[in-house]
């Protein structure tokens, strides 16, 4: 019985000492300054207009690249229409829903503007009318015509 007890104590000591050898050293993490998160700063109110002032846009972009503002078309020979603009900046392109009233009817039309060297160029392409909204068929096939270039202007106080 004493041999069995002595043998058990020796085995138990052996197992305990083996477990201690298997304990890993704590990992040392080098000290360094935490990196600052990159946050897009809202750009504030921005205003652009065509050379003839037939198209004017004013908007604000928040930190999530969401855009809201106003868009006005005052093209000679056509009814003036102005309305709200709600959309997103997707890279260098503003894609938004333009809600406006013309001849007493409220309409929604998707618009696109390409940001290029401090200007915005209006895009156009094939459209579809679904559920009361006119949208581009394929945004990847939009064309941006330099004749519809909007340049930065001072925002007017309203």
pLDDT at 102: 80
- E strands, 24-157, where? 44-50, 55-61, 66-73, 81-90, 93-102, 105-116, 119-124, 127-130, 133-136, 143-152
Asked if the model's pLDDT at residue 128 lies above 50, the reply is yes
pTM (2 decimals)? 0.69
Altogether, the residues listed in the chain come to a count of 158
Q: How confident is the model at residue 37 (pLDDT cuts 50, 70, 90)?
A: very low
pLDDT at 7: 59
pLDDT at 5: 57
Task: Name the helix (H) or strand (E) containing 5.
Answer: helix 2-22
C-alpha span between 22 and 131 (Å, rounded): 68
**Of the candidates 113, 112, 89, the residue with the CA atom closest to the CA atom of residue 40:** 89
Asked if the model's pLDDT at residue 151 lies above 80, the reply is yes
Lowest mean pLDDT among 6-10, 39-43, 149-153: 39-43
Contact 140, 126 (CB under 8 A): no
Q: Higher model confidence: residue 103 or residue 113?
A: 113
């Amino acid at each position: 019985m004493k041999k069995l007890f002595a043998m058990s104590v020796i085995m138990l000591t052996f197992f305990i000492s083996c477990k201690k050898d298997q304990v890993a050293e704590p990992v040392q993490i080098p000290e360094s300054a935490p990196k600052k998160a990159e946050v897009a700063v809202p750009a504030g109110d921005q205003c652009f207009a065509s050379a003839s002032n037939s198209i004017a846009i004013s908007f604000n972009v928040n930190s999530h690249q969401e855009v809201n503002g106003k868009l006005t078309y005052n093209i000679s020979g056509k009814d003036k229409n102005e309305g709200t603009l709600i959309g997103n900046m997707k890279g260098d392109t503003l894609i938004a829903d333009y809600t406006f009233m013309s001849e007493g009817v409220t309409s929604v039309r998707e618009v696109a503007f390409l940001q290029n060297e401090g200007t915005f160029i209006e895009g156009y392409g094939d459209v579809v009318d679904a559920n009361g909204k006119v949208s581009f068929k394929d945004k990847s096939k939009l064309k941006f015509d330099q004749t519809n270039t909007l340049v930065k202007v001072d925002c007017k106080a309203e």
